[in-house]
Each structure stands twice: as C-alpha cells, then as structure tokens.
C-alpha cells in the first residue's frame, strides 16, 4: 500500500495529504537558483564551467537541455542521491534540495534523518521491501510528472547514487520526454563508500590499479548480458552490487574464467548503518561463511581486501551511541560522533533552568563592585548565566579585571575566553577537589571567594576552601531538572545501544530517572567524561566500561572509540581475512 504523509510545520498537527486542497501552480525558481540555494556561482566549477549543464550533457548524449527557463509553471524535479546509510554522506546540494522540496518520493532505505530536512514537504515512500508490494517504475515516473505539472518542487531521493545501478538515467529520460525540468544531483555510491566502511580502498597501488563495478542482478532491459569472463580478466578490484542472492553462481563464473578460488574477498550488509555487518573470506567460501547476511550486500573481490585498516579506526561506524547532554549543549558531542559515522541517539536527561532571583543579582553586584578576590565558575552553563546576569546590570568582562577567575575544565575556560577573560586558575584534573587544591596551594586564608554554580552541585569545593580559612559565598545560577523523555529516543534505547555517554553526575541521575524502570541500568555500557561522573554512575547502578583520560568532550569521544575497538565487531562479526 502506498502511503503519503504530510510532514507538519513546527507546532502544527500532522494531517492527511488526501484532505489537502490542491494549491494553484506557482512560479518555481530556475534550475540553477533552486539547486544552489539562490547562488548561481555555486553551479559553476573552475573557470566558470557550468557543472549542472555538464551533468545534463553527460546524461543525454544529444546535448539536449532538459530544463527550460521558460517552463516556470512546472515544478523542478531533483533526482538526488542520498548516499549509503549515514545521513552525513549526502551532498550539500542534495540537502538543500530537500529543504526546498514540496514533495519527496523516497526509497525504503533512506535515512530518517534526511527526511527531517524536508520540513514542509509531503513524504511518499515508494520503496520496495523484500517480498512486499512494489510501486512500479512507471508509477513513480508518473507521480513525479504529475507533481511537477502542479507547480511543486519534487525530490526523488534514492540511496547511494541514482546514476550507478539506480535507474536515475531512466527517470531523467522519462521526465525529459514529458517536458519536465529536472536537475541531477549525484550521490556517494555504495560501490566505494561500502569499501570505506570496511576500511579498504577499491584501488591501491600495492594491489589494484583498476576497479570494475558490476550489478549481480541482470535486469530485463536491452543491456547485453554480463561477460563474467571479461570481468575476471580485467584484474584489479571487482565490486558486485545487488548480487548477493545469486553470488554462489557469480563466484562460480568468476572462478571458471580463471580467478583463483582463494582470491581474497569481503561482503558488507547495510554499510554505514547501525545494522552494518561484514565478513572477510576467500572467494570460494564467502557466500557460505556469510550466509546470514541479508541484502543490501556489497561484495568486493581482490587483493585490496587484505589491506583493511585496523578495526580500532572503523569499529565506531554504525554503532549506536546515546548522548545524554542537555539539548542546548549536545551538538558538539553529537557532531564529533557523527564525524566518525556513529549512529547518534539523542536523549537529553537534563534541562538547564536559569535562577532569576534577588540572590543572583546581589551576588553579581557585589562581584563587580570588588567584593570578591576570587570567582570560581564550575561549568560552561555557569559562565553563560553569570555573563547574562552581568549584562542585565550593564557590565561586561572589564568588571572582573580586579578578580582572580578560576574554572573547572578546559571547556569552561574556553567559554570564558570567548567572553574576553583568560582564566587565572584551571587545574589539570577537571574536578572540584582539584580546583580547591590548586587554590589552597597558593593560600586562600582570609580571601573572599564567590562560587558560581548549579543548585545541585556538591559541596566539595566550598567545604575545602572553608577548611583553608577562606570566606566563601555560593550563588546558584541555575537549576538542573529532568525533562520529559523523547519517545523516539526511548524506543531506540529499548532496541539497544552500544554505548551511553555521560558528561556529568547530573546526566547520570537524569538518565536513571528517565529509564530506570524501563531497562536494567547494569545492561547499559556507559563511558564517562571523568572519575566523578563515573563514581556517580556506579552508585546509581550503571555499568561503567570506560572513563575519559582527558576530561573533555574530545577525550570522551576518544574513550568511546577505544572502548568500541576493544569490544570488537558487531554481533554478526567483522572477520579478518584468512
């Protein structure tokens, strides 16, 4: 059954496409303006070469121009490659096309994160599940034509590259024949992206100077049958796409053509996704050893499969990593993990609520009036909210010129630096106890100290300074509360994650409150940013499997990578070549 669903605007209820009143056709931007975000210069390469035009000429040998700027009543159709699996592998042009779209016709395996880019578009799943009912190619072509004729911007979103065994050329020809303007947006093909997920290169001067990409599923078109003997004789690397179900026969033909039975080979299922699984084995044993792999599977045959990079560098690909930071602060950790192609699940377990009371204003006024010798800030949130309070009273960083500024952690020090203040004291170990030791080492007897902190902070820093005869005042700049859980994130957590990241004792407490009745906390493998967080997590019942050596976000990401490398491959196994 074909399901078309309208993605709602923010704050609006989702509603059925069938109940929408068709809109009047409207003017659609020209092909280059639409494809390149209103910046025509982005559509040209070096020397002013028309990149979009080159693509059109490459697809249509006649050099016929597909898009006519006079057809402004028709909606532009983008044929977009989404790349394989990981949403980060889409091109910038493809992502912008999704943002501009009125309707998106997408395949089954396209990442859900990409569909979120099309905030105001109708989403139509035209993919085919194995054994399920199919939407025919003719139906898809007609849907694109119909939407275009109604003046709608259309994105046809396909996994990988539509122009490498993706029928993109057929769709472009059908649109051109109907007089529909079309923009081709190639994607990252799994022919080489899947190799990257395996840690191999399809060409390597040590092993292969040629690569042959071939479909293992010969269609019913006019193309001649595959000459497997010729494929075997070319040498180099052979990449087989869409041929897993009949790979035994493919391997037999390659070996009959002279390829040695012990030729190294590898197969990977759903590359760049959390479901990624892979197997290395000789050609004549690959199908049997990887019998539990299910399509889509990409196969690589050749010596390059023996040159895979160490697993420590690639075991994070596709792993499910839970990020528990507050929503406003999660981006830095999320981006670093996604840069390593982890599958990030965001479940904010804390929410920062500023304290707006007289005690904050009074403490800040006393601070800027010179009432304190030392001000200690314990977090990035503390820096931001302290500055907010100072600005409300008309002050900036110059107001602290007479005060020693102390900070816990390099991130807190960076937050101060962006506001024009260089922290005077930052201990090597990012804990309250370490900061207290660093301050008392220089003598704090009789000094006036202001601690700017969260309401739930431990009393370690204040207690140690008071023990050293300092006069300590504490002001709570913000409260930490547990937010309402996000259903999608909870559902993913129930399905299972490989690693949970904890960046503070409060994130550990928040996660315990959110999921303590849903999952066994000891079953969650947590990686903590530092020893204080790790101890808090253990006391709550979490299993702490690693602690960052450097108590920063970068250190946390490194600890996640090291743990996953030591954990080994996913359940199905990345087996080394024999």
Residue of 69, 116, 128, 520 with catalytic role: 128
- In the residue annotation, 204 being an active-site residue is answered as no
- In the residue annotation, 33 being an active-site residue is answered as no
- Residues sharing a CB contact under 8 Å with residue 428, sequence separation 6 or more, in sequence order: 434
Element (H, E) at 480: strand 471-481
Nearest alpha-carbon partner for 105 in 151, 59, 152? 152
Q: Say which residue the tokens 């070996």 belong to.
A: 255
Dump strand ranges (E) for 330-393.
Answer: 343-346, 351-354, 374-377
Considering only the C-alpha atoms of the chain, give the largest distance between any 2 of them, rounded to a whole number of Å: 91
Helix (H, G, I), strand (E, B) or coil at 443: coil
Tell me the C-alpha distance between 186 and 93, whole Å.
Answer: 9
Q: What share of the chain is helix, strand, coil (3-state, %, to 5)?
A: 40, 20, 45
Dump strand ranges (E) for 303-350.
Answer: 320-323, 343-346
Burial class (CB in 10 A: 0-12, 13-18, 19+), 315: buried
Residue of 107, 122, 125, 473 with catalytic role: 107
Burial per residue of 108-127, b for 16 or more beta-carbon CB atoms within 10 angstroms, e otherwise: ebbbeebbebbeebbbbbbb
**Tokens representing residue 375 in the block:** 């001000």
Element (H, E) at 5: strand 4-6
Distance, C-alpha 97 to centroid of its chain: 19
Q: List residues bridging with 321 in a β-sheet.
A: 344, 499
Q: Which residues are catalytic, by number? A: 107, 128
């Amino acid at each position: 059954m074909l399901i078309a669903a309208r993605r709602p605007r923010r704050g609006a209820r989702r509603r059925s496409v069938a109940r929408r009143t068709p809109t009047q056709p409207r003017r659609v931007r020209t092909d280059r303006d639409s494809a390149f975000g209103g910046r025509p210069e982005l559509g040209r390469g070096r020397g002013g070469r028309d990149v979009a035009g080159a693509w059109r000429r490459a697809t249509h040998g006649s050099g016929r121009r597909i898009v006519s700027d006079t057809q402004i009543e028709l909606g532009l159709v983008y044929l977009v490659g989404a790349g394989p699996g990981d949403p980060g592998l889409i091109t910038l042009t493809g992502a912008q096309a999704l943002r501009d779209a009125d309707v998106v016709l997408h395949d089954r395996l396209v990442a859900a994160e990409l569909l979120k880019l099309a905030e105001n578009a109708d989403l139509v799943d035209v993919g085919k599940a194995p054994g399920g009912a199919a939407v025919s190619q003719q139906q898809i072509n007609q849907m694109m034509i119909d939407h275009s004729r109604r003046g709608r911007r259309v994105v046809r979103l396909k996994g990988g590259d539509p122009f490498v065994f993706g029928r993109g050329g057929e769709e472009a020809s059908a649109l051109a024949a109907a007089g529909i303007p079309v923009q081709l947006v190639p994607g990252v093909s799994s022919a080489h992206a899947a190799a990257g997920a395996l840690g191999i290169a399809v060409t390597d001067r040590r092993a292969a100077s040629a690569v042959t990409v071939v479909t293992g599923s010969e269609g019913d078109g006019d193309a001649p049958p595959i000459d497997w003997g010729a494929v075997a004789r070319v040498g180099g690397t052979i990449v087989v796409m869409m041929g897993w179900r009949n790979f035994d026969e493919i391997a037999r033909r390659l070996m009959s053509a002279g390829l040695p039975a012990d030729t190294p080979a590898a197969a990977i299922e759903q590359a760049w996704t959390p479901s990624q699984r892979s197997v290395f084995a000789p050609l004549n044993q690959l199908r049997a050893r990887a019998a539990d792999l299910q399509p889509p599977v990409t196969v690589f045959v050749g010596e390059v499969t023996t040159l895979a990079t160490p697993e420590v560098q690639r075991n994070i690909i596709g792993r499910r990593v839970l990020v528990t930071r507050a929503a406003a602060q999660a981006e830095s950790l999320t981006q670093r993990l996604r840069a390593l192609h982890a599958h990030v699940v965001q479940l904010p377990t804390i929410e920062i609520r500023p304290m707006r009371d007289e005690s904050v204003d009074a403490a800040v006024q006393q601070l800027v009036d010179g009432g304190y010798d030392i001000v200690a800030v314990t977090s990035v949130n503390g820096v931001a909210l302290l500055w907010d309070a100072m600005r409300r009273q008309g002050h900036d960083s110059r107001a602290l010129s007479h005060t020693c500024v102390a900070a816990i952690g390099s991130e807190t020090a960076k937050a101060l630096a962006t506001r024009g203040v260089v922290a005077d004291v930052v201990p090597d170990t990012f804990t309250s106890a370490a900061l207290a030791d660093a301050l008392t080492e220089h003598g704090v007897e009789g000094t006036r100290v202001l601690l700017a902190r969260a309401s739930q902070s431990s009393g370690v820093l204040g207690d140690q300074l008071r023990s050293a005869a300092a006069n300590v005042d504490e002001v709570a700049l913000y409260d930490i509360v547990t937010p309402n859980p996000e259903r999608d994130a909870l559902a993913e957590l129930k399905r299972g994650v490989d690693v949970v990241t904890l960046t503070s004792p409060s994130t550990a407490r928040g996660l315990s409150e959110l999921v303590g009745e849903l999952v066994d906390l000891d079953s969650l493998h947590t990686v903590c940013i530092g020893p204080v967080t790790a101890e808090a997590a253990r006391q709550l019942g979490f299993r702490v499997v690693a602690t960052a050596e450097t108590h920063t976000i970068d250190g946390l990401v490194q600890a996640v990578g090291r743990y996953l490398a030591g954990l080994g491959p996913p359940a199905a196994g990345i087996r080394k070549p024999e």
